[in-house]
Structures are given as structure tokens and as C-alpha cells.
Structure 1
Amino acid sequence: MTAQTFAPERLKAFVDAVVAIAMTLLILPLLESVSEAANDGTSTGAFLAEHRGQIVSFLLSFVLIALFWMEHHRQYERVLRVTSPLLFINAAWMLTIVWLPVPTAMLGQMDTDPLQALLYIGTLTMTQAATLAGKLYLMRHPTLSDFTAEKLRRGAIGDIAAIILFCVALPIAAWVHPIGYFALLLLVFSTPVEKLLERLRR
């Protein structure tokens, strides 16, 4: 029995809307802080200095969500049909995106602790894992897209490399306080890790 499939346009539009809302929610804590600063008569310079953690966390999460969305766009622009399992994979991906503003607000306003790092970097890891799950599903169902198997395989290796680096960054952010979330800069090593994984695969 052939599984029921659906046109991908509504899924893509829905994902775009969810991402846009999540990116907008990231700024709300800062807007609230601006209102409080205005009521307290805080100067602009003092506000920027006092809330630099919020500003950095906002920019970091905004960039990361944008990167996740761009990867999602590249992955699904050549998907011809979607199935119910693929819809559930995308729902899981969107759940992580919608949740990210919560640990982002914690990161900008609360003292750093290991659980906070687990929530923040753990969310990023789950987003990447959902991206990987979509590629693996498309590899198993080649009629759903016009990607070549090799293209999907290379993309999956890239996702695995990012997941590995997130997992390395997590304990550093949690327990090496002088470095903290700068550990996420390890993602610049994605390409060398991908090449290593590709050699191991071969």
C-alpha cells in the first residue's frame, strides 16, 4: 500500500511563519528591558552596558535560527512530496525553534549554570538532529525529492559533524566559565570534522 503524500508548499509556508515568529520573540525581553530603563531614566550607554548579555544572546540565537532556516530551505526546496512521518519530523524541528527563545532569555538575564547550558546547547543539538532525521528519511525514500543520494549523504555527514561539535561545546559552556558559550565557536571546525567523517565512512 502506497503511503499518502502531500504537496510541500503548505509545509514550507508554515515553517517560514514559525521561524519568523520565533525570531521575533527573541527581541521581546530586550523590548521589555527598554521600557523598564525608560521608566528608570537609564541612559542609552548604561542600558547597553547593563544588558549586553541580553543583546549578545539575542544576536547569537538570531544568527543560529537564521542558519537553521537557511539549511531547512535548501533541504526542502527540492522536496517534491511529503509524507506524514516527514511532517512529524518537521514538527519536531519547529518545536526546537519555538522553544529556543526561552533558553535565550535565560542566557541573557540569569547567571550561567550547567542546566542553562544544557537547555540552550541541547536545544541547538536537537534542532540539528531533526535536520539530520529529515535527510535520513529522504535518503530512505528517494522518490520524495530530486536530490541525489550522494548529495543527501554529504548533507547528513555535515549534520553529524555539527552535532558532534555541539556535544563538545556543551560541557565546555557548562563548566569552563572563562570560555562559556564562546565554545560554540567550535562550529567553525565543521568542515574539517566533515572531511574526517567522510574518510572514516570510506
Structure 2
Amino acid sequence: IARAIIAMGHQLGMTVIANGVESQAQLGFLRRNDCDVFQGYLFGEPMSADAAGMTLRRRYLRPEAFAETRPDRTLLLLDDEENVLRSLVRLFRRDGYRILAAGNVRDAFDLLAINDVQVILSDQRMSDMSGTEFLGRVKMLYPDTIRLVLSGYTDLNTVTDAINRGAIYRFLTKPWNDDELRKHIHQAFRTYEEQRRSNAGPAPVESGEGGEDRPAR
């Protein structure tokens, strides 16, 4: 709904203002969808007119509200079993990725909202939502992400259907082989980067001497 309202406002040539922004997750989602102005508890609690005037004169806003990092390779891990999650973090740490770990779906969505995530690895069987359902929702919000699910053989039909719908890029079986799992994640990042290059299109050309075209430098 928020994305539709922002897009509609911009199509009408209007400035879109989001009121009631209370968390980094909300701010991150709105920024990624090109909302223009934000206000709410994240930037300042209710205050008197005098206090508001002083804040404006000092030109002060909470700096953490605008902090944003964009590492090249960020991996989000989702599993509601703490031991499994720790094992996955240890496994991928050696590959130099920036690793975000979530023990539930809500935390995973919050992390997605405030971070640029390229690859997501989710468990299939979780208490609050299945991995395929979670990744299906992620596809609608963050379609450029590469989404993988860890699944037991008993979930094969469900996961296959999710692949056919484009919700997930690949499913990986439990128990996993460490080396193979690392290779799959590495390939997922490669796939993401190839898609970005493809979407960027060919390099522009500029006209050279004699009317010939040459690649731009």
C-alpha cells in the first residue's frame, strides 16, 4: 500500500510525506521507495514550540536516523533454530560476506528494510512462517534479491512449486555439505551481480573523429 501511495503521489507531481516513522526499518523501506519527507518519533519526540525552534536553529537531527551502509555482498540468514543459525554464521564468515542473522521472520523483514541485501538463505520449516512463504513476500518487496531455501526432502513438493513461481532461486537440502553450500552462496552472489550488469544495459557510446562511434571512457 505504501509503495502504491508513493508512486501515485509522484505521478501527480506531489511531494510525499510519511508521518509516524518510528523505526529504522520503516525509514529504510520508505527511503528505498523514494518517499520525499519523513517525520515521527525516530527523528524527535513531541516537543514544545520553543524546543522545536531551538532544534531547528541548531540544525540537529539524530544522526543514526540517516546512517546507511551499502556493502557489496550482504547475506541474510534466517532460521528459528539458534544452533543452526550460529553454525551458518560461522560457515560463511570465512568468505568475507557481511552477514545478517535473524531468528524470526519479523526480524528478517526489519533487516531487509534497513540494509542492502543481495542474497537470502532461509530455513523452510519455521514456527511463524514457512521459508517459501517468507521468500514469496520478499520477492514482491525486493525482487532483485537472490533467494534460497534450506529444506528437508519432505518439503520437496512445496519448494518445487515455489521455484516454478519464481519465489526462490534454488533449494538446498538438509543436512548440507559445508563446501557445497558455500559454493551455492558464492554462485548466488555471482548471479546477482550478473543480473545487475545486464539490467544496466550496454555502455553509452560517444561520437569520435570522422563520425565513428567509440565506447565511452
Q: With structure 2 as the length reference, what TM-score do the two structures score?
A: 0.26
Q: Which has the larger radius of gyration?
A: 2
Larger relative strand fraction: 2
Q: With structure 1 as the length reference, what TM-score do the two structures score?
A: 0.27
Larger relative helix fraction: 1
